[in-house]
């Protein structure tokens, strides 16, 4: 059971280039999330998905797109990278909403992206 | 809007002492709170959670206290060890919809051997 995995671990892009970050989970979670973490700050939600084929905007969605074609995968795309998108990106997953315990989000190891 | 903040951005404790990390939240509708630990270069790791109908919940060496009157959350770590050195985040959510978490900026805990 690998949990949540992310590829790549590191990437350097030039301004205007595009790339896709891949997140995969093997826990059969319904919900998946993409966050960014800037130095000295907490995590901010970019986009999320409550199920295969569905996506929704989070707190900071501009400049990013996502797709959830398979339940276990959640892709984050940058169509035209900007230096302001330099950050560490984390993917997370959780069981579907409910009341009680056991609905915490499980996080991947992160992707460090630098845009020059 | 929702906001989650921390009173102390850094905390240094002696090995073996108890640590207390505090967090304030502003959304009185939040009903589920989570503490995460993040070590350098890694993703956040779940520590403990608590629901709004509880005041206290205990885990292994950790206790979370919730004071809804003043919208305050704290994480207590007993007998702090060097391996506890990390950044600790509190997060809040309302357990309907997509379980979106709102994170504070974090507190860096340093354990002095």
Per-residue pLDDT tens, chain A, 116 aa: give them.
Answer: 789 999 999 999 999 999 999 999 999 999 999 999 988 778 999 999 999 999 999 999 999 999 999 999 999 999 999 999 999 999 999 987 666 676 788 999 999 999 99
Question: Contact, B64 vs B55, CB < 8 A?
Answer: no
Nearest residue to B33 (alpha-carbon basis) of A29, A109, A92, A103: A103
CB-based contacts of A86: which residues, under 8 Å, 6+ apart? A113, A114, A115
Q: For chain B, what is the radius of gyration of the CA atoms?
A: 13
Q: Please say if the pLDDT value at position B2 is more than 70.
A: no
Look at residue B94 in the predicted model and tell me its pLDDT. 84
Look at residue B8 in the predicted model and tell me its pLDDT. 46
Mutation for testing the B interface, residue in A27, A39, A42 having most B CBs under 10 Å: A42
Rounded CA-CA distance B32/B102 in Å is: 11
Look at residue A83 in the predicted model and tell me its pLDDT. 96
The tokens 């991947």 sit on which residue? A108
Look at residue A99 in the predicted model and tell me its pLDDT. 62
Mutation for testing the A interface, residue in B29, B44, B49, B92 having most A CBs under 10 Å: B44
Look at residue B3 in the predicted model and tell me its pLDDT. 44
| CB neighbour class for A67 (10 Å; exposed up to 12, middle 13-18, buried from 19) | middle
Contact across the interface for A104 and B104, Cβ inside 8 Å: no
Look at residue A85 in the predicted model and tell me its pLDDT. 97
3 state SS of A26: coil
Nearest residue to A34 (alpha-carbon basis) of A77, A81, A80: A77
Look at residue B104 in the predicted model and tell me its pLDDT. 82
Contact across the interface for B99 and A103, Cβ inside 8 Å: yes
Q: Enumerate the residues of chain A whose CB falls inside 8 A of the CB of residue B106.
A: 40-42
Contact across the interface for B44 and A107, Cβ inside 8 Å: yes
3 state SS of B29: coil
Mutation for testing the B interface, residue in A7, A41, A43 having most B CBs under 10 Å: A43
Selecting from B45, B97, B99 the residue whose C-beta is nearest the C-beta of A94 gives B99
Look at residue A100 in the predicted model and tell me its pLDDT. 65
Q: Please say if the pLDDT value at position B109 is more than 80.
A: yes
Q: Enumerate the residues of chain A whose CB falls inside 8 A of the CB of residue B97.
A: 97
A69 touches chain B (CB under 8 A): no
Contact across the interface for A97 and B46, Cβ inside 8 Å: no
pLDDT digits (tens, 9 = 90+) for B24-61: 987 899 989 999 999 988 999 999 999 999 999 999 99
Contact across the interface for B100 and A97, Cβ inside 8 Å: no
Contact across the interface for A105 and B104, Cβ inside 8 Å: no
Contact across the interface for A105 and B43, Cβ inside 8 Å: no
Look at residue A40 in the predicted model and tell me its pLDDT. 74
Contact across the interface for B51 and A99, Cβ inside 8 Å: yes
């Amino acid at each position: 059971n690998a949990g949540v995995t992310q590829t790549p671990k590191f990437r350097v892009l030039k301004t205007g280039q595009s790339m896709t970050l891949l997140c995969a989970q093997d826990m059969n979670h319904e919900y998946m999330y993409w966050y960014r973490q800037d130095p000295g700050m907490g995590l901010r939600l970019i986009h999320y998905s409550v199920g295969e084929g569905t996506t929704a905007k989070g707190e900071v969605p501009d400049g990013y797109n996502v797709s959830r074609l398979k339940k276990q995968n959640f892709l984050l795309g940058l169509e035209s990278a900007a230096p302001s998108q330099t950050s560490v990106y984390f993917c997370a997953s959780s069981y579907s909403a409910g009341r009680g315990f056991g609905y915490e989000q499980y996080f991947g190891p992160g992707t460090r992206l630098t845009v020059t | 809007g929702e906001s989650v903040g921390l009173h102390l951005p850094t905390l240094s404790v002696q090995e073996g002492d108890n640590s207390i990390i505090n967090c304030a939240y502003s959304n009185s509708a939040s009903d589920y709170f989570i503490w995460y630990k993040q070590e350098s270069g890694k993703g956040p790791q779940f520590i403990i959670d608590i629901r709004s109908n509880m005041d206290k919940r205990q885990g292994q060496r950790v206790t979370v206290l919730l004071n809804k009157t003043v919208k305050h959350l704290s994480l207590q770590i007993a007998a702090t060890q060097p391996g506890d050195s990390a950044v600790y985040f509190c997060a809040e959510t309302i357990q309907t919809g997509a379980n979106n978490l709102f994170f504070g900026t974090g507190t860096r805990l340093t354990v002095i051997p």
